[in-house]
Amino acid sequence: MFKNFFSFIIHIVQNKKLLLTFVKNDFKQQYLGSQLGLIWAFLQPIFMLCIMWFVFQVGFKAEPVSDVPFILWLSCGMIPWFFFADSVSNGTNSIVSNSYLVKKVLFRVSMLPLVKIISAFYIHIFFIFFLMAMFIIYGYSPSLYWIQIPYYVVCTFILVLGISWLTSSLNVFFRDIGQIIAVFLQFGFWGTPIFWQLDTIPEAYQWIIKLNPMYYIIEGYRNSFIEHIWFWETYKMTPYFIITTLVIFIVGAITFKKLRPHFADVL
């Protein structure tokens, strides 16, 4: 298992130019033909963020959270969710949408979900700096706690790679997987404390919400930008997240490896 993983890492390093070429082509395919092109990759999340802000801030008169304007608190939840949702959604369909590459003997198919995740990662990096700029504009000075953001980015990256390996391999044989994932992402968006606070539900049921790995990530962003809490201080949630993510990653990698030899027969 670990031998195959290290082999995969070495292959990625040796073929980084090829990987980046695929990422570049992925951007072109997604936005080819539109007048604004790649700009849509940034406009769509911003529009979504503005809509959510208008509904809850203007419509429902949302109050500041932890003495921070609601828009900043909301952005800390939505920006990591955008990265997660885009990576999982596009990663799930990465094998089916590139079936012509699957039949190439020398091509490492496990790179395809990674291409989609890296595409979403580049956009996410922009929005991290966008979020930092928002805090500065609102009068908040850069904080030492910001340096742990890369930790949460890496955690999310590993999580979505494991999920994408699992779902993309299953999607080859069961095409309904893509639709099921879309439903789960919708459910996850509303069921994760992105625009609502955890203490709005009874304490007896809060543990159910905390089982969601994205709860840890979103709270991590808020702890970095707002609450000023180091990740090792969440001594209960951090071990749980790491163990859960490693299990998902290993299951995804094993499933992908087992099903990979049969991809060409189905596609």
35, pLDDT greater than 70: no
Token digits of residue 19: 């990987």
Q: What are phi and psi of 109, to 5 degrees?
A: -65, -25
What does each C-alpha distance from 252 to 141, 159, 188, 246 come to in angstroms? 40, 10, 20, 10
Domain boundaries, the chain: 11-266
| pLDDT above 70 for 7 | no
Confidence band of 36 (pLDDT split at 50, 70, 90): low
Query: pTM to 2 decimals?
Result: 0.91
Alpha carbon distances (Å) from 42 to 32, 82, 148, 196, 228: 15, 11, 24, 24, 28
For the chain, give the mean pLDDT: 88
Give the pLDDT mean for 178-184. 94
What φ, ψ does residue 180 adopt, rounded to 5°? Answer: -65, -40
Q: Give the per-residue pLDDT at 10.
A: 72
Give the pLDDT of residue 62: 74
Contact indicator for 91, 256 with CB cutoff of 8 Å: no
For helices 149-173 and 111-137, angle between their N-to-C axes, nearest 10 degrees: 140
Q: What is the structure's pLDDT at 4?
A: 61
Name residues whose C-beta falls within 8 Å of residue 117's C-beta, 6 or more positions apart in sequence: 87, 91, 157, 160, 161, 164
CA distance 203 to 223: 20
Tens of pLDDT, residues 215-224: 999 999 999 9
Share of the chain above pLDDT 70, in %: 92
Residues 162-187 have a mean pLDDT of: 94
Q: Which residues of 113-141 are buried (b: 16+ CB within 10 A; e: fewer)?
A: bbbbbbbbbebbeebbeebbebbeeeeee
What is the per-residue pLDDT across 94-137, written as a single tens digit (0 to 9) for each? 999 887 777 765 677 888 999 999 999 999 999 999 999 999 99
Q: Do residues 249 and 1 lie in contact, with contact meaning Cβ atoms separated by under 8 Å?
A: no
pLDDT band at residue 158 under the 50/70/90 scheme: very high
Q: Using CA atoms, how far apart are residues 172 and 193, in angstroms rounded to an integer?
A: 32
| pLDDT the model gives residue 21 | 85
Q: Is the dihedral of CA 150, 75, 235, 248 positive or negative?
A: negative
Cβ count near 66 (within 10 Å)? 11
Q: Which residues pair with 114 in a beta bridge?
A: none
Weakest-pLDDT range from 58-62, 81-85, 159-163, 201-205: 58-62
pLDDT digits (tens, 9 = 90+) for 14-23: 777 878 888 8
What pLDDT band is residue 32 in, cutting at 50, 70 and 90? low
